[in-house]
Amino acid sequence: MEKLKKIIRDVPDFPKPGIIFKDITPLLKDPQSFRDIIDAFAEQFKNKGIQKIVGIESRGFMFGAALAYQLGIGFIPVRKKGKLPWKTVSQSYDLEYGTDTVEMHADAVETGECVLVVDDLLATGGTAEAVNLLLKKQKAKVFGFAFVVELEFLKGREKLVHHNILSLVKF
Ligand code: AMP
């Protein structure tokens, strides 16, 4: 995982001043690194009764879809408001300034279905917490969360108590 840490690119002041953006595109471009990530997730989450992967737009789709394929289970996209074409359920959450909303299709998960949430990065945990609430509303069983990167100093993990949380690279 040290190799992964090195390959992730820091982009200062993106998308706004003061933010150091963790750019995972060099990692996606490197076939061995991409494979190492999916293999590590699959090893951790195989044979756990997980029935669907829930990927968070948009970088969660890249890792989540590959993991769903590897585990031989279905994939559910969670998107920003207004992107999904059919009937949706939604959950709003607070940002530093204002709010944002995540949505999924109303028939995406079955009652009691066991799901794993995947995203590229855990920062403050606001997004993952909103997805967790959305899934709870739909009566899914949230097995846990998988992230490629965790920014530990932002303490996002504290918003996701009582869950299995895996992050492969910690800063
Ligand atoms: P948060 O809700 O604060 O945990 O933010 C998580 C979401 O924002 C994830 O979907 C990340 O892709 C994105 N994100 C937040 N901070 C960063 C960062 N420093 N570098 C890259 N992506 C980030």
- Whether the model clears a pTM of 0.95, i.e. scores above it, the answer is yes
Coil/strand/helix, residue 10: strand
Query: Does 22 contact ligand 1 (Cβ within 6 A)?
Result: yes
**101-145: pLDDT as tens digits:** 999 999 999 999 999 999 999 999 999 999 999 999 999 999 999
pLDDT band at 21 (very low <50, low <70, confident <90, very high): very high
Choice from 127, 132, 157, 167 to test ligand 1 binding pocket (greatest atom count within 8 A of CB): 127
For domain 49-170, the CATH architecture is 3-Layer(aba) Sandwich (3.40)
- Return d(Cα 49, Cα 58) in angstroms, integer: 25
Instruction: Count H helices and E strands in the chain, helices first.
Output: 5, 9
The predicted pLDDT at position 162 comes to: 83
Active site residue 96: yes
C-beta of residue 89 within 8 angstroms of C-beta of residue 138: yes
**54-102: pLDDT as tens digits:** 999 999 999 999 999 999 999 999 999 999 999 999 999 998 788 999 9
C-beta of residue 158 within 8 angstroms of C-beta of residue 139: no
Question: Structural domain boundaries of the chain?
Answer: 49-170
Residues in Cβ contact with 119 at an 8 Å cutoff, skipping those fewer than 6 apart:
55, 56, 59, 60, 63, 64, 127, 128, 145, 146, 147
